[in-house]
Structure 1
Amino acid sequence: MAAIIFDLDGTLIDTEESWDIVRRGLARDAGLAWPDGATQAMMGMSTQEWSAYLVDAVGLPVTPDEAARLTIEAMAAHHRAGVDVLPGAVEAVRRMADRYPVAIASSSPRVLIDAAVEALGIGDLLQATVSTEEVERGKPAPDGYLRACELLGVAPGEAVAVEDAPNGIRSALAAGMAVVAVPPHFHPPSAELLAEATVVESLDQLTLDVVAEALSRAAS
């Protein structure tokens, strides 16, 4: 028994840079400089966590709820204009769903996950979707992946996460899962972190053999 759990932003759809542009725009409009490390820090955070970070660390002069609303409204507009599907994404989900239970565990709010799944046309292939808004902690904590495993009825050691970002990889590893990493051009993980995953250059390379390799490696 095994299951495949995909990240969404940066793994199936190319939105990581859009999140950064939107958040930086909010800071710029408020006359604030963008702190060093803020982009990397927020990658993988839940909505509650990154909205608080925008207020506490970046200094937005609004409440966390308002920071979240402004950001999500701007991202929803990006989604309505059409999601930028990463190469091989839909085909990879279909290929995995032919053999394994498949889910998504994402840091995006539920409304954006649902919109992306609809735009990708993969709703019939997924047995579960999890937003880290729905668990206690966002990535790099393991909560989202653990919840997805629970919904799929598999032990974390029997599941493979497909991830791009450092915090996502750390989240899946903390959950006790095997990881297939698809490093992005936008703030890629360190070589040390990638050494803990099975690395592919694109989702076109996500095959049953790669999944078997990742599970074997994690079990060794």
Structure 2
Amino acid sequence: MNQLPCYPAISYSNGGETNMAIEAVIFDMDGVLVDSEVYWKQSRIEFAQTLGKVWTDEDQRLAMGRNTVEWAQVMQERLAIDMSIEDIIADMKRRVIAHYEERLPTLPGALEAVQLASKHYRIALASGSPTEIIQRVMQLTELDKVFEIMVYGDDIPNGKPAPDIYIETLSRLNVKAENAVGIEDSANGIRALKAAGMYAIAAPSPGFTLPDDILQMADYFLDSLERFSLNVIQEIEQQSN
């Protein structure tokens, strides 16, 4: 593969360990496997418009990567509405699933990356999206037959950037953090991976740029999962030695 930009996590490295072999690859879903951010953003814009409000790009960035209750709270606060969290969640689930049923926007190289990883590593999904949405996407892509473990945002009290969802995923896999790498598109996702003590591959979703400090925090950068290969994992392992 072509040489890709690589950002060693100097300040955040899993220091002191040598010859640490990667055993598991953990994928985020939204913005990594499917270009769902466009649907979430569009659904939030539509939701806001029905209330005579405006949903901005900054609002969207604040909501990205969080668990279900947390992004609903962001919507409630940013739109200054008195609708209950439960009603916001129900409305958004309906809108997003309707978009998925119409067209599922898998990202280039995403399905191939999961299939490749599954042949050499244990693989899991860790997504902050609502359970119903994750399950529907997994059914439509048939990735529910590939992932060994799937952890949903509804199962986790604290969403990204808290490391909870990755700590839970590692626990279910029975894999140590220093033996796992995660693939994330958002700043909150990268922060969560590093807070969990894992290696992090930054793969920004289309149309979003990660801040320089987040790129420096990551162990590797991919501008597309089409560039994912076993060499990427091997280079991360070599960095740790």
Q: TM-score range by the shorter chain?
A: over 0.9
Paired with 1:215 and 1:114, the residues of 2 have a C-alpha distance of 32
| Contact 1:87/1:204 (8 A) holds in 2 | yes
| Contact 1:45/1:138 (8 A) holds in 2 | yes
Which residue, 18, 21, 26 being the options, matches 2:47? 26
Paired with 1:50 and 1:137, the residues of 2 have a C-alpha distance of 11
Paired with 2:230 and 2:23, the residues of 1 have a C-alpha distance of 11
Question: Which residue of structure 2 lines up, in the alignment, with residue 142 of structure 1?
Answer: 163
In 2 relative to 1, CA 35–61 (structure 1 residues): closer, same or farther, beyond 3 Å? farther
Residue deviations 1:106-165 (CA, integer Å, cap 9, x gap) = 011111111111111222221100112101111111111111111111011111001111
Using the size of structure 1 for normalisation, the TM-score is: 0.94
| Contact 2:31/2:206 (8 A) holds in 1 | no
Aligned residues with identical type, % of pairs: 31
Q: Indicate the larger mover: 69-78 or 48-57.
A: 48-57
Q: Indicate the larger mover: 18-27 or 180-189.
A: 180-189
The alignment covers a number of residue pairs equal to 219
Q: Does 2:114 correspond to 1:85?
A: no
| Contact 2:123/2:147 (8 A) holds in 1 | yes
- Look up the SS of the partner of 1:93 in the other structure: helix
Paired with 2:177 and 2:115, the residues of 1 have a C-alpha distance of 21
Q: Indicate the larger mover: 167-176 or 177-186.
A: 177-186
Q: Indicate the larger mover: 89-98 or 121-130.
A: 121-130
Q: Does 2:46 correspond to 1:5?
A: no
Structure ID, larger Rg = 2
Question: Which residue of structure 1 lines up, in the alignment, with residue 153 of structure 2?
Answer: 132
Residue deviations 1:167-216 (CA, integer Å, cap 9, x gap) = 11111111111011112233221122112220112112211121122244
Q: What is the identity, as a one-letter code, of the residue corresponding to 1:61? A: D
Query: CA shift at 1:36, angstroms?
Result: 6.7
| Contact 1:13/1:83 (8 A) holds in 2 | yes
Question: Which of structures 1 and 2 has the larger relative contact order (alpha carbons within 8 angstroms, sep 6+)?
Answer: 2
Q: Superposition pairs for residues 41-80 of structure 1, below 5 Å? A: 41-80=62-101
Question: Which residue of structure 2 lines up, in the alignment, with residue 214 of structure 1?
Answer: 236
Q: CA-atom RMSD, angstroms?
A: 1.5
- Look up the SS of the partner of 2:206 in the other structure: coil
Query: CA shift at 1:55, angstroms?
Result: 1.5
Question: Which residue of structure 2 lines up, in the alignment, with residue 39 of structure 1?
Answer: 60
In 2 relative to 1, CA 38–215 (structure 1 residues): closer, same or farther, beyond 3 Å? farther
Structure 2 unmatched runs, 5+: 1-21
Which residue, 104, 118, 128 being the options, matches 1:107? 128
Q: What is the identity, as a one-letter code, of the residue corresponding to 1:147? A: E
In 2 relative to 1, CA 94–187 (structure 1 residues): closer, same or farther, beyond 3 Å? same
Using the size of structure 2 for normalisation, the TM-score is: 0.86
Q: Does 2:144 correspond to 1:123?
A: yes
Q: What is the identity, as a one-letter code, of the residue corresponding to 1:50? A: W
Paired with 1:81 and 1:37, the residues of 2 have a C-alpha distance of 27
Paired with 1:204 and 1:24, the residues of 2 have a C-alpha distance of 30
Paired with 2:59 and 2:190, the residues of 1 have a C-alpha distance of 18
